[in-house]
Amino acid sequence: MIHEIPWRAPQDCFAALMPAPHIAFLDSAAAGDARSRFSYICVDPFKVLRGAQLAQVAEELARHTPIPGPLPFTGGAAGFFSYDLGLGLEPVASRHGNPMNLPDMAIGFYDTLIGFDHAARRCWLIAGARAGQDSGKRAGTILARLAQTPSPAPLPKLHWQADMRRDDYIAQVERILAYIRAGDIYQANFTLRHTAPRPAQLDPASLYLALRQASPAPFAAYLDCGEGLALLSASPERFISLAPGGEIETRPIKGTRPRHADARRDAALAAALAQSPKDRAENLMIADLLRHDIGRAAQIGSVRVPELCKVESFASVHHLVSSVTARLRPGLGAIDLLRATLPGGSITGAPKIRAMQIIDELEPCRRGPYCGIIAWIGFDGAMDSSIIIRTLIVTPTHVLMQAGGGIVADSQPDAEYEEMRVKAAPMLGVCDG
């Protein structure tokens, strides 16, 4: 059944439904942004795959027929695929263990969700038919819970500890520059992790609502991944979208400047980013890498670059963004496209495999979900996904946050460290007491 219900803000519906095991809130949180048209709250999955293989996701999707409806996503798979899953697809051996036991993926299969069209201010409750279950009763339970108006829980202070000191970070950037001068690579994306002990009273849903208020983003998300793991994302970056007819788009981000409260200063920062040879070169390299990756699964001759180095503005930063489009090769699907492109080129470097090897050598821990993707894949074969950046990862014992940037030949180590701090600041400040 698909039933239109009275409009209510997605974040309020999310708060009313929590706690909900394996909830997936795919949240277009940047109000007034053309990239923020649709949001989805997926609940009560009929199946969950955790730490499985990509083939199992494709097999489960193939067992189900599409649910016709007024939204791009009316049911299917939703969850995350980790950076480390992509590492194995290339394949690149890692020196890092997995002390926090983070899975390579956590995917729920949903036929029960609330979909929101922000532009039309309309929303629908979708409850698919299940053997031995009354979909109307399931929908009624959700509607009853939506009538609640809970308040977010108070947030405890998080005590962050960086995995590297400033001097260590700068020294590792210098090592990447040495690799570039030696001809090993043109670019590598280098990051730093902050870790905080998880307070016993921390409510991840309340923390997410605070994050989305501080840093609203077009590809925000909250995922309950089971076993005490949750992803709280304020990502500005689409990875890959796939339309039912096979049209592909990816929008890599490379190049960053902070926002400024003064309008003139803010405009000057955006203009400086648009004209920066270093940032444009960085963006161009990654757009070219993604052209190659998408070409593995695209129809020959269909790959295009309709936008190159366009400035897009977000809550706390300006970014340079490009667009690469193509058409999927007949006989292939969303999972084939992910096999061809994971991990995303914007968070690896070029050439991709060598950059990934250097990242593994120089970063002190595995990335886990960070720099992987959050995605929905419909029963109709469509997909949309985001890069897991600007994200808090809540584990049973810790909260993790990671940020960094692309290092190229004319990168200045001090400036790269400051850019990392600009990106990290909204996440680190959510629970600053």
Catalytic residues: 237, 254
Q: Which residues contact 238 (CB under 8 A, 6 or more apart)?
A: 35, 218, 219, 249, 250, 251, 384, 385, 386, 387
Cβ atoms 179, 358 nearer than 8 A: yes
DSSP-assigned letter for residue 369: T
* End-to-end Cα, the chain, rounded Å: 45
Token pair of 13, please? 């519906």
Counting every residue, how long is the chain? 433
Q: Angle 295-80-62 (CA atoms, 0-180°, nearest 5)?
A: 70
Report the alpha-carbon distance of residue 227 to residue 306 in Å, rounded.
42
- The residue with tokens 């108006």 is 149
- The residue with tokens 């970070």 is 169
**Of 220, 186, 215, which Cα lies nearest the Cα of 350?**
186
3-state DSSP assignment of residue 279: helix
Q: Which residues contact 360 (CB under 8 A, 6 or more apart)?
A: 87, 92, 93, 94, 95, 96
- The residue with tokens 């609940």 is 43
**Of 409, 355, 362, which Cα lies nearest the Cα of 175?**
362
3-state DSSP assignment of residue 147: coil
- Cβ neighbours, 10 Å, residue 25: 30
H or E element: which one contains 426?
helix 413-428
Q: Which residues of 306-336 are buried (b: 16+ CB within 10 A; e: fewer)?
A: eeebebbbbbbbbbbbbbbbbbbbeebbbbb
Report the alpha-carbon distance of residue 158 to residue 156 in Å, rounded.
6
**Of 388, 399, 391, which Cα lies nearest the Cα of 426?**
391
3-state DSSP assignment of residue 198: coil
Tell me which amino acid residue 8 is.
R
81 bridge partner residues: 105, 373
| C-alpha to C-alpha distances, 282 to 285, 287, 340, 357, nearest whole angstrom | 5, 9, 22, 19
Instruction: Identify whether 72 is preceded by a cis peptide bond (ω within 30 of 0).
Output: no
